[in-house]
Structure 1
């Protein structure tokens, strides 16, 4: 039986983060063609919000908790990310991929910014039948704050553990984690301490590259490596060949 692959498309890959919900439809269709060419892959797809969600979450200060003034931001943020999700699913289906969008707002409950409940049994069942679930970073209700933003990166780690996936990839707009302009081929907890990893240069309420590394180190501790690579190397990652990016792994693992 094929192994389930968890693939994350960064928000900066499929949107222009300098605009507001500026979706890169051409890039989406390129990605869809790569995935359609590999129909045997059991895939769960997660995408970031990019410019569809981050501006709204920042404007309404969703991560700071709910008040009478910012309650409308829950709808505005969710609507923005849902519109991007619809575009991703549409591109996949146009290419012949049996994709269905799934909204974390409907499934998850958080406490102080971390998911404490998230249903995944139906996601596992979907992959058994050749359906590609497409999830995204989203606003969810939070037992302490009222609301919070759950990043696509947090979803990746949650799904990888729940579905026992050992293949996790994050496609980005850079060739990997960079230090002094060069790709860092391998990161574990010891090397991460010595790296000066910047956050997103544009609006990002979920922590940019620093947030990714934190999530993926926790996943590595649980025994699953994660690969960070440029979107142009998506086919190589799916085929299990060299992608020239970064592997986040457990300390001491060769």
Structure 2
């Protein structure tokens, strides 16, 4: 059976998060090479917004909801992340990977910041035909707040219950989840509370590493493990080798 792998590219991987929407073209090309070299794998790619979206969302206070004064922020923020999505797709297609963008603003509805509707049918069908859907963190309409920001990590948490995903890997700019400078090899609900997981110093309206771990733990409790590793170890993860990162698992009682 053809393996289906979800690859999440952190915003700090595809952009310089300290700048204003500066795309890392060289890194995108290297990522595209890795995916292109494995034509027998079905991929779905999700990427963060990085410096292309977080500053705009913060500037327009979309993390607080929609009001009469910040309506323009929906277009401005979505346009920023859509441009980044275009750059990711361009890099993939330049290496021969058939890829197409899926925008959560078009496909999702939230309620009080959490997804309640996700039209995932096109994602599943694209993968079945060997086309790589590329999703991203985005502004979406929210029944309670008017609008909210849905992170790439929340999309990751939503996908396995809707389509078949065999493995999930999150490529970041660090070696994994760190505690006192060392990689934590395994995180479970029992160990997560005692870890000192610090927030990013850069603008992030989706919760940083703490938000990421929260989403992944919920996913693990439903039976889907995930791995967090440095982007330089993407090939190791894709090939099932040791990636030197962190594995997020469900509670011990379920293992």
Match of 2:45 in 1: 45
Q: CA deviation at 1:214?
A: 0.2
What secondary structure is seen at the aligned counterpart in 2 of 1:228?
A: strand
Which stretch shows the higher mean deviation, 244-253 or 157-166? 157-166
1:200 and 2:188 matched = no
Q: CA deviation at 1:68?
A: 1.4
1:139 and 2:162 matched = no
What secondary structure is seen at the aligned counterpart in 2 of 1:162?
A: coil
TM-score norm. by structure 1 comes to 0.98
Aligned 8 A contact 1:6 1:159 in 2: no
Q: Deviations along 1:175-229, whole A, 9 cap, x unmatched?
A: 0000000000000000001101111121000011000000000000000000000
Aligned-partner Cα distance in 2 for 1:50–1:89: 16
Aligned-partner Cα distance in 2 for 1:235–1:158: 25
Match of 1:251 in 2: 251
What secondary structure is seen at the aligned counterpart in 2 of 1:161?
A: coil
**1:1-254 matches, cutoff 5 A:** 1-252=1-252
Q: CA deviation at 1:164?
A: 2.9
What secondary structure is seen at the aligned counterpart in 1 of 2:216?
A: helix
Structure 2 residue runs without a partner (length 5+): none
Any runs of at least 4 consecutive aligned residues in structure 1 with deviations exceeding 6 A, and if so which?
none
Q: Deviations along 1:84-114, whole A, 9 cap, x unmatched?
A: 0000000000000000011000000000000
Q: CA deviation at 1:4?
A: 1.4
TM-score norm. by structure 2 comes to 0.98
What secondary structure is seen at the aligned counterpart in 2 of 1:57?
A: helix
Aligned-partner Cα distance in 1 for 2:211–2:165: 21
Q: CA deviation at 1:13?
A: 0.4
Aligned 8 A contact 1:93 1:99 in 2: yes
What secondary structure is seen at the aligned counterpart in 1 of 2:135?
A: strand
Number of equivalenced pairs: 254
Structure 1 residue runs without a partner (length 5+): none
Q: CA deviation at 1:166?
A: 3.1
Aligned-partner Cα distance in 1 for 2:160–2:209: 19
Aligned-partner Cα distance in 1 for 2:163–2:222: 13
